[in-house]
Chain A
Amino acid sequence: MSDLITATLAQGLLWSMLAIGVFITFRVLDVADLTVEGSFPLGAAISATLLTIGVNPIISILVAGIGGMIAGTVTGFIHTKLKIPALLAGILTMIALYSINLHIMGKANISLLRIDTIYSLVTDLGFSNTWSLFVVGLLLAITICLKLVYFFGTEIGAALRATGDNPQMIRAQGVNTDAMIVLGLLISNGFVAVSGALIAQGNGFADVGMGVGTIVIGLASVIIGEVLFGTRSFINSLISVILGSIVYRIVIAVVLFLGMPPNDLKLFTAILVAMALSLPSLKAKWQSR
């Protein structure tokens, strides 16, 4: 049982990289970016392919992150330079990535059985398999949280936040909002791809279809986190998102434990997110009565 709890927490931490990516686009930039559904399996594909040819697991994750950044940049250019709405720009990149991911892997599925992963590096230190996932997830979550809090407190970071908040205002202050949007999408998809790489290494396989529904999982984590743990400050929001990702995993574990068929998970998540997103407007409606 305690192993199950550790595993659930670990999954939450590893998926929190995805949630942070979604948070950066959805909340900071105020853009719904569907690139996520392609950059998540892209990270998995790059990392898994590199592992099978004997590349160091950590380097494979870094390369996966760079791949995600490129994907985000492509969406950014389609959106800002070709003037295609952000939602559609993300969908275009997502679809294109499906083919690209197949090219990278050479097939639809790569198994990582008996291949050293980032987690084997930790089990070598004497941790169990489950604990190794937890340790890696926790270390990464803390490191990235600190780095992001610093970044969003810098001049460029503040300009990026202002771009999502009020583009007109920040243009009047001399900031190129197009560049900021591209930068935001780049950072976001970098994290998403890293998450994909971590999950692939944890699950022991990469699959071309593993991106389906990731945007909704990311949104669920962001919203659950915000509702339960608050948004008083930027650091508060960021920690909320990480905790939200963990709570989401706990909820999933519980409903599965209660006997919900795994095939219904995505339906369940979609309903959860729809309810959470509509909550503010429903609340306002009730109150105005």
Chain B
Amino acid sequence: MLKVENLVKTFFKGTVNEKVALNGINLTLNTGDFVTVIGGNGAGKSTLLNSIAGVFPIDEGRLIIDDIDVTKMAEHKRAAYIGRVFQDPMRGTAGNMQIEENMILALRRGKSLGLKWAFVDKEKEYFKEQLASLGLGLEDRLSARMGLLSGGQRQSITLLMATMIRPKLLLLDEHTAALDPKTAANVLYLTNKIVTEQNLTTLMITHNMRDALRYGNRLIMMDNGRIIFDVSGEEKAKMTVADLLDCFETAEGGLSDRMMLGHE
């Protein structure tokens, strides 16, 4: 479903601040793979997701989504294949617009927009059903401004919006990191439900090693712009946090404090 070939990305090239963020990434995801991504600060996790999403051009390599070469495709064109949820809950939704308006736009992801009236009664019912599935009581608040909702509510809706039109690839960039533990657990539960029910091909960055082990069928560990560890299936299911920590010993970048805390 996703093929990343020899991906290289350097920031601030030719300056003293030059930083090789991705140093030859090769990664192939099969349809339905739910991959958790862990790694220390500056390991290149977010850069990898942003490269795939097309936020910036890459220096070398190829990106292929479902046999479509997207390497040179603009971010908004790639969006037709990709659903995204960001770390900051404010970034995934338009805060000054209504919940319904946000969902209307999400339901048209990758489609060409026209001068049709955007509010359709039939869709409204569908949005209500979708919101009800979150179990947050948001189904009666379609006309509320997104900005009035809590971070967890916004992140849950962003997740819905990213998956309402089935994406070929779902990118989750530490989407629970900014939430309190209880809300984070809820959003993760919801994520797992949606991903497994719809059999979505997913890349999920997390700083929590237990979550990385608990969810998904495959785990990759990144360090210094490379994938240093890649485990899946039975082998992953048997891994413990202690095993992961052992792996990290070999990593140059080492562990971030956040990951150590997440280990509690």
Binding site for B on A (CB under 8 A): 150-151, 153-159, 161-162, 165-166, 168-177
Contact = CB atoms under 8 A, between A and B. Distances in A.
Which 10 A-B pairs give the minimum distances between C-beta atoms? A174-B79, A155-B113, A165-B94, A174-B110, A166-B94, A162-B94, A173-B109, A155-B118, A154-B115, A165-B96
Contacts of A176: 74, 76
B91 A154 contact: no
17 contacts: A155-B104, A155-B108, A155-B113, A155-B115, A158-B104, A159-B105, A161-B97, A162-B101, A166-B93, A169-B91, A169-B93, A172-B82, A172-B162, A173-B105, A174-B108, A174-B109, A175-B105
Contacts of A172: 53, 75, 79, 82, 84, 92, 109, 162
Nearest to A168: B91
Given A158-B105, A162-B97, A165-B96, A171 B76 contact: yes
Nearest to A154: B115
Contact of B94 (A151, A154, A157, A170): A170
A155 B79 contact: no
Given A155-B118, A158-B105, A159-B105, A174 B111 contact: yes
A73 B95 CA distance: 27
B106 interface: yes
Interface of B: 53, 74-77, 79-80, 82, 84, 86, 90-97, 101-102, 104-106, 108-111, 113-119, 161-162
A166 B114 contact: no
Contacts of A168: 86, 91
A153 B97 CA distance: 11
A156 B116 CA distance: 8
Contacts of B94: 161-162, 165-166, 169-170
Given A171-B76, A173-B109, A176-B74, A154 B117 contact: yes
A175 B74 CA distance: 10
Nearest to A159: B113
A156 B118 CA distance: 8
Contacts of A158: 97, 101, 104-105, 118
A157 B118 contact: yes
A153 B117 contact: yes
